[in-house]
Chains A and B, each alone.
Chain A
């Protein structure tokens, strides 16, 4: 099937070329980082994680898109998702690939990355995160590819895929939980030290992942010669609406505990985020943008007539995506370091090099996504049986 990625229209090749250019630029900046060290980034002694780890955390959430399609389709026999589960799985593949790349570019000594396998430490959550992420990547590559191959041949998928698909459901929960545990188990970082971290991760993931998937489906319907079906898109939109509402609720719950208890060390990072702390307010406009986008998106997602309008839906989904890109990106990582354990406030802002490398990694992920989706659409358009009725489970 791979050869299908080599056939495409003019626009397809321009898009691929653009991605290649951005990847090349990113890579050349990465070579600079390799040579000089992580000092080329905005990270410092006090704020020792930045844009890379922020992208990693956010993208773990995007990988959730798969489970929100797989679960209704395989556990509840919700047929409208039949056509697009593979889209979710391929999106998860691209997202997890980016996650791994972002962790890799964040390493000070990338040549020693294999030490994690050579000297594994089961007490380290990072070790377990590697295990669950690689596992999730493999599960989604295998299931997505096998299902698509069988769709192409119009035969039912082999029996062994089913258990793997069922496994992918709890596994998707695990990648969020374990990633949240990286942060939520550190004694000195008050912003992260909360049991609601993992539930918050899950809720925001189930909003941002499907939101991106809706945007992708709308784009494919308009320009990509593939219709996911209005029923599937509307069902996804409802998932986004619920997950967004739950997500906002979880944040409010956290705010109550922090501010009603009045514990200064728990309050300080939130002051930094939303009001600024001792004149330091780099993230304040971003956080308010995120808040406004999240609440703003809630309205068109909840009100049925608005949700059914493609324009409103697309706008709401983009808003959800951007809102969580901020909230679960830099908005989550930076306040963990502010104030520092010694009560100092060090601001962080990414450097040009850091941004170029970040864009490079995103482009690499988008390239994989584009190739996989091109194959998917080519296979789909060759089918003799088309439309919503085709059931891949059979």
Chain B
């Protein structure tokens, strides 16, 4: 089965950029003042989910 991907809740994200700076695959970009995960690049490592100070990133489908 394919690994799950991270997804950002745009209502919760406060655009701090922490997830972007730790993403080992450079899969996250700030677009229209919210972090945005590139699903093609995301490998589901979970680092961004754990890093988010407001809990705005979760597994897609959850």
Physical interaction between A and B: no
Chain B interface residues toward A at CB < 8 A = none
Interface set of A (CB-CB < 8 Å, partner B): none
